[in-house]
Amino acid sequence: MIGRRRLQPEDPPPDLVLEIDVTSKTSLDAYKAIKVPEIWIYDSGKLTIYLWENGQYITSNISPTFPTLPITKLIPATVERAWEIGSVEALEEFEVLSRAAWLD
């Protein structure tokens, strides 16, 4: 939805929402209202994946968007590494790890 700052009622939901730990969090009920198919919430060092199924959100260890990547492990590890070695280096490591996992 290029150029949009807010979704309109007639807009389709985003394919994926990523929420990181911030001072103000969006409730799952807000996403439920627009039926976002996949939500990633990173909070306190943990990534939780929620999938919209049969009118409710269920937790999952696998992202259907990236089914071959261990996202719930890669994202927290990358954030931790960023604190240790810096963002650029951690993202470079993430790229190498995700490519390797993608090819397996």
The verdict on 52 and 70 lying in the same domain is: no
Q: How many structural domains is the chain composed of? A: 2
Among 43, 34, 44, 46, smallest CA distance to 71 is for 46
Say if CB 39 and CB 6 are below 8 A apart: no
pLDDT at 4 over 90: no
Q: List, for residues 25-73, the tens digit of each pLDDT value.
A: 888 888 898 899 999 999 989 999 999 999 999 999 999 999 989 999 9
Q: Are residues 48 and 72 located together in one domain of the fold?
A: no
The answer to whether 79 and 57 have CB atoms below 8 angstroms apart is no
Three-class DSSP category at 40: strand
Same domain, 94 and 47: no
Q: Are residue 49 and residue 74 in the same domain, yes or no?
A: no
- pTM for the whole structure: 0.81
Q: Is the same domain home to 50 and 95?
A: no
Do residues 19 and 41 share a domain?
yes
Output the pLDDT for position 21: 72
Same domain, 60 and 79: no
- Which range marks the domain in which residue 85 is found? 66-104
